[in-house]
Amino acid sequence: MTSDQDILKWQETKVVGIIGLGDMGLMYANAFAEAGWKVVCCDRAEMYEILVEKYAENKFEVVQNGHLVSRVSDYIIYSVEAENIEKIVSLYGPSTRMGSIVGGQTSCKSPEISAFEKFLPRDVDIVSVHSLHGPKVSSEGQPLVIIRHRCSRDSSSPLVEAIMSSLKSQFVFLTYEEHDRITADTQAVTHAAFLSMGLAWYKMRLYPWTIGANRWFGGFENVKVNISLRIYSNKWHVYAGLAIMNPSAHKQIMQYATSTTELYSLIVAGQKDELRERLFRAKQYVFGKQEGLLLLDDSLLENYSLSTRQPREGEKTLPNSHLSLLAIVDSWYQLSINPYDHMICSTPLFRIFLGVSEYLFMTPGLLEVTIDAAVDCNAFRRDDLEFAVAARMWSAIVSFGEFNLYRKQFEEVQEFFKPMLPEANKIGNEMIKMILSNSK
């Protein structure tokens, strides 16, 4: 086990390099520098002067390019988009300092490891990482995957672990293949669901929290709105890389779209018995062995709404069909995925999505109410149609590997919600903090 004295000695002699000063790269740079490490960073060469001025007061150093980072650093982290990892590593990899360690912070490890093996000198060790949360969530206590892919020196992994301890995260040790399979099982479908919600509302030209207290009102709806807008407040490539470049993610996203379509077909055909039978099979598979407290309680979420309106006396909130949640549980069942197997590597968004799904399926009588509402009430029928179409659209974009179309569609929706994103982020941050502190 590495001692505090060893860490202090490393901090005096070792340099951490970060190539890519996006949101996560910047979070890493600040965390490591504040913890006492010497940190050298770069982004695109044309941004050099701007970044030097912008981060003049920060404790890390900005240099002009990745060659300068690679030549002086003992541990180098590539914090770049997954679709660009091979190009960036091919450019700067040959400049890597002899005997150093290299890792990446992309959400899809297969192309990252392939690029490292292809372009890094053989004397360089490869220890990659992935923080399973976004830059706006505190890293403390969150899962941090460490991948010891190539370690010819005994000190390589301990040094990386010492550096990463600055984040106060919970280490999870995986192979890159295990990492990609687990992130596909957790993040890919979660993102697809919330992306589809936002796209459906955009196609309807609807801010759902503005239409009154009888629809889209309550804790479940607050989660859907806040998390969807939270995703659309980030950069498109954060989600595109994981979905398109991770082969394991394709299967999950395709199944989610299929589950959504098939469940919606049962709803519009009025086949309530078939719908109930299918969903109760899924419930038994996913939640049959769960006991004790739920991950979330709907009452905890009621105060986190963008709406300023409360129901008037006698005004009832119409029950939602919750197609997005029904489809996620059905897709887990169809793919034989137990979501609880991956809790140690789960993101905050995944835990929230699992929590509200668990609440819907395990609260006595609530699933039956939802099924009745889906088949017998037309209040959310158009919403469900647009959602099913949106899920199909995202799955098609992913299956064809269309980064440009992914970006275009993402940014169209992002622009529609732009006026509400600052407030949604503020409320969403408060909601996520509360959820994580109350989740079991």
As a CATH number, domain 4-174 is 3.40.50.720
Residue 134's pLDDT is: 81
Residue 221's pLDDT is: 78
Residue 226's pLDDT is: 81
List pLDDT tens digits, range 6-27: 899 999 999 999 999 999 999 9
Residue 401: Cβ-neighbour burial (10 angstroms; 0-12, 13-18, 19+): middle
Give the dihedral of Cα atoms 218, 219, 225, 230; nearest 10 deg.
150
Q: Is 53 helix (H, G, I), strand (E, B) or coil?
A: helix
- What is the rounded average pLDDT for all residues in the chain? 89
Q: First CA to last CA across the chain, in angstroms?
A: 30
Is the pLDDT at 308 greater than 60? The verdict is no
Could you tell me the pLDDT band of residue 310, with boundaries at 50, 70 and 90?
low
- 309-322 average pLDDT score: 68
Question: What are 213's two structure tokens?
Answer: 């207290």
Question: Residue 377 contacts by C-beta under 8 Å, 6 or more apart in sequence?
Answer: 318, 319, 321
Higher-scoring residue by pLDDT: 62, 352: 62
Is the pLDDT at 217 greater than 90? The verdict is no
User: Percent of the chain at pLDDT above 90?
Assistant: 65
Is the pLDDT at 314 greater than 70? The verdict is no
Could you tell me the pLDDT band of residue 378, with boundaries at 50, 70 and 90?
confident
CA distances to 318, 327, 362 from 267, in Å: 17, 12, 21
- With CA atoms as reference, report the closest residue to 181 among 58, 6, 342: 342
* Partners of residue 16 on adjacent β-strands: 39, 75
pTM attached to this predicted model: 0.83
Residue 42's pLDDT is: 98
Is the pLDDT at 299 greater than 80? The verdict is no
Is the pLDDT at 295 greater than 90? The verdict is no
**Where in the chain is CATH 3.40.50.720?**
4-174
Could you tell me the pLDDT band of residue 78, with boundaries at 50, 70 and 90?
very high
What Rg, from alpha-carbon coordinates, does the chain have? 23
Q: Any idea which of 40-54, 70-84, 425-439 has the lowest mean pLDDT?
A: 425-439
45-51 contacts, C-beta under 8 A, 24 or more apart: 47/21, 51/21
Residue 440's pLDDT is: 47
